[in-house]
């Protein structure tokens, strides 16, 4: 489920980024798109790490 949400968020952020760069160049909207992509990657990375940590605690 988390992977599906990550893919949806990343695709939406990349589409927003590419459309804003094509329309306006590297302006504030493009930087906002980059921040969205970075935030989505960071959130999934942290959630995956916490999930693996929780699984290892359950196993031991």
Rounded to whole angstroms, how far apart are CA atoms 35 and 56? 32
Residue 27: per-residue pLDDT: 79
Residue 1: per-residue pLDDT: 67
Residue 45: per-residue pLDDT: 83
pTM higher than 0.85 = no
| pLDDT, tens digit (0-9, with 9 covering 90-100), for 12-43 | 877 877 887 778 787 787 788 788 888 878 88
Residue 48: per-residue pLDDT: 83
Residue 16: per-residue pLDDT: 78
Sign of torsion over alpha carbons 29, 34, 38, 43: positive
């Amino acid at each position: 489920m988390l992977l599906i949400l990550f893919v949806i968020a990343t695709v939406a952020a990349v589409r927003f980024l590419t459309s804003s760069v094509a329309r306006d160049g590297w302006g504030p909207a493009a930087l906002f798109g980059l921040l969205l992509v970075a935030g989505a990657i960071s959130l999934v990375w942290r959630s995956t790490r916490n999930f693996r940590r929780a699984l290892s605690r359950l196993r031991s």
